[in-house]
A and B are shown apart, each in its own frame.
Chain A
Amino acid sequence: MPAENPVKIYIVEDDPLYLKFLDHVISLNPDHEIKKFTTGNALIEAIHEKPSIITLDYTLPDISGEEVLRQVKEFDPNIPVIIISGQQEIGIAVQLLKLGAYDYIGKDEETKERLNYAITNAKRNVQLINEINSLKKEISSKYEFEKSLVGNSPAIKQVFELMQKAVNTNITVSITGETGTGKELVAKAIHYNSRRRNNAYIPVNIAAVPRDLIESELFGHEKGSFTGAISRRIGKFEEASGGTIFLDEIAEMDLNLQAKLLRVIQEKEVTRVGGNQIIPVDSRILAATHKDLSEEVKKGNFRQDLYYRLLGLPINIPPLRERGNDILILAKHFLDLFCVENDMEKIVISGAAKEKLLKYSYPGNVRELKSIMELAAVMGNNVEIKAEDINFPSMRSEDKFTYEELTLKEYNHRIIDHFLNKHNQDVLKVAAVLDIGKSTIYRYLKEKQN
């Protein structure tokens, strides 16, 4: 009976006697599905069939084993190639191993044992590589734009458009938005959809790392460079080389370090703390903050030159209160997710609960809505979320209009802006909701334009 998940092993050997020997040894394991080739070119023609493992004779009648190995590695560097050769010269073995051969086995009395051992190890290797690849795929699909940021309001659609532009190049991206809007999700989605997706994504929260350690955290340190540096450590920039570094809460970085960061961005190289060696790094930078960086520049808290370097493609994630119907889409999304994670039947949201959800201002944004919905699922009757199951932990809806002192006219404008954003700039609807004339709104919009 054929094995359920056969391991495809391709044998390349021109000597008919040895080909039979290898075929016999390898086929003793019923999981192995064998295909035999007597020339290097025949194997290269079949390489698109993606064998799991290749055993390759070094001396072939058409092209050298070295050339075959090179072409296999060019097609897929992860296919283990076991060289089986009668060559005694150690130099050839070293050269082939350097080129990426998995193992080098001589044709002698130990071939059978060594080959079985090499195949067992190579299979384990292939399995690990497959697992890593499937996990990578899973992560990528988890961070597909539509899955990572839920919603279809014009404001969020604009964010999608900008993200799409960000994935096609290596441009630095500055992500701004209030706390809880999903800045890190945007950063991850950009990385996992970019050409760098197969390399590391390294997030660093500047605010979370003690001030004294942040430099060594970012750039690494040499052994003995400061008390406690007991061994050499590579920094996050080096770790992210080839991939992406996400600098969260960038506004919290102190001015001295800002100067060093500017140098790293400009020169694309780092020097570890206490070291002299200049190390080239190729890490794409995504930076985020909930603060207005241009304001921080004006206040003298942030270097202007670094601000312009980091600005790159700015993506501003709108606060949830400006995303209108997205509130309900997200509420349902979080509720469904919670039910799946907790093996619960699907729960619906009542009309009254929806109305209540739409009225709130969400100072904690999407993160806050998620916990509100999770709490509601726990508090409710497992069938329907009612208005009383919705509990707002922080502010009441009107608080957001009064958290700073403004003139009455300014308050009015703020209220009109709020409802325009909430109702997709639908002037008639906003006029009806606020019970004011539509001309008042048009007048305000014209004033704003001027």
Chain B
Amino acid sequence: MKHRLTDLTYLNSISEDDQEFKKDIINTFLQNTPLYLADMKSGLDTLDWKKIGDIAHSLKPSFTLMGMTEKKDILLKIEAYGRNRSHTGKLSGLIRELETVIQQAISELREDLDGIA
């Protein structure tokens, strides 16, 4: 079985049994995260390192809410490299890694969504 990247324990604890809220949050994640990722990639094309760093910064709370703590260090690196304009050569690889993580998270969350009443 594939190792799960998302963990909804934190989201469950703050939802206080509000299933609609939970669905809403997951749906928002499913809709917005690919857009953030696309923005990040466009930053790579235009060499806009600061933009890449800022987007990584904005994604951090979503990772916290979805319990993706073990993959947060990818975001922290992208944020630091982008904002400091350092190790920019590593950004492309990190963003590819991030994309894989997000794709897996999306598929896990889609399944979870089906299971929520």
> Which A residues are closer than 8 A to B by beta carbons?
14-18, 20-21, 24-25, 28, 59, 86-87, 107-109, 112
| A15 touching B62 in the complex, CB below 8 Å, given contacts A20-B28, A59-B54 | yes
A17 touching B14 by the CB < 8 A rule? no
| Chain A: CB-nearest residue to B22 | A24
Q: How far is the CA of A86 from the CA of B62 in the complex (A)?
A: 11
Give every chain B residue within 8 A of A15 (Cβ-Cβ): 32, 58, 61-62
Give every chain A residue within 8 A of B32 (Cβ-Cβ): 15-17
B61 touching A17 by the CB < 8 A rule? yes
- Picked from A16, A28, A108, the residue with its CB within 8 Å of the CB of B16 is A28
Q: Which 6 pairs between the two chains have the least Cβ-Cβ distance?
A: A107-B61, A17-B28, A18-B61, A86-B60, A17-B62, A24-B21
| A17 touching B57 in the complex, CB below 8 Å, given contacts A24-B18, A24-B21 | no
A16 touching B61 by the CB < 8 A rule? no
How far, in Å, is A410 (CB) from chain B's closest CB? 90
A86 touching B25 by the CB < 8 A rule? no
B62 touching A25 by the CB < 8 A rule? no
| A21 touching B14 in the complex, CB below 8 Å, given contacts A107-B64, A109-B64 | yes
| A17 touching B29 in the complex, CB below 8 Å, given contacts A24-B21, A28-B16, A59-B54 | yes
| Chain B: CB-nearest residue to A107 | B61
| A107 touching B14 in the complex, CB below 8 Å, given contacts A16-B32, A20-B24 | no
How far, in Å, is A63 (CB) from chain B's closest CB? 14
> Which B residues are closer than 8 A to A by beta carbons?
10, 14-16, 18, 21, 24-25, 28-29, 32, 54, 57-58, 60-62, 64-65
How far, in Å, is A296 (CB) from chain B's closest CB? 73
How far, in Å, is B48 (CB) from chain A's closest CB? 15
A59 touching B57 by the CB < 8 A rule? yes
A108 touching B21 by the CB < 8 A rule? no
| A20 touching B64 in the complex, CB below 8 Å, given contacts A15-B58, A86-B57 | no
| Chain A: CB-nearest residue to B20 | A24
Could you give 21 example pairs across A and B, Cβ below 8 Å? Answer: A15-B58, A16-B28, A17-B25, A17-B32, A17-B62, A18-B61, A18-B62, A18-B65, A20-B24, A20-B25, A21-B14, A21-B25, A24-B14, A28-B16, A59-B58, A86-B58, A86-B61, A87-B57, A107-B60, A107-B61, A109-B10
How far, in Å, is A387 (CB) from chain B's closest CB? 76
Give every chain B residue within 8 A of A18 (Cβ-Cβ): 61-62, 65
Q: Which of A14, A59, A107, A108 has the most CB of B within 10 A?
A: A107
Q: A17-B29, A86-B61 are in contact. List 13 more A-B contacts (CB 8 A).
A: A14-B58, A15-B32, A17-B28, A18-B65, A21-B14, A24-B14, A24-B21, A24-B25, A28-B16, A59-B54, A86-B57, A87-B57, A112-B14
Give every chain A residue within 8 A of B16 (Cβ-Cβ): 28
How far, in Å, is A34 (CB) from chain B's closest CB? 14
Give every chain B residue within 8 A of A108 (Cβ-Cβ): 64
Q: How far is the CA of A24 from the CA of B65 in the complex (A)?
A: 13
Q: How far is the CA of A112 from the CA of B25 in the complex (A)?
A: 15
How far, in Å, is A90 (CB) from chain B's closest CB? 16
Give every chain A residue within 8 A of B54 (Cβ-Cβ): 59
Give every chain A residue within 8 A of B60 (Cβ-Cβ): 86, 107
Give every chain A residue within 8 A of B57 (Cβ-Cβ): 59, 86-87
| Chain A: CB-nearest residue to B62 | A17
| A21 touching B58 in the complex, CB below 8 Å, given contacts A16-B28, A28-B16 | no
B65 touching A21 by the CB < 8 A rule? yes
| Chain A: CB-nearest residue to B67 | A109
How far, in Å, is A8 (CB) from chain B's closest CB? 22
How far, in Å, is B62 (CB) from chain A's closest CB? 5
Give every chain A residue within 8 A of B64 (Cβ-Cβ): 107-109
Q: How far is the CA of A143 from the CA of B116 in the complex (A)?
A: 64
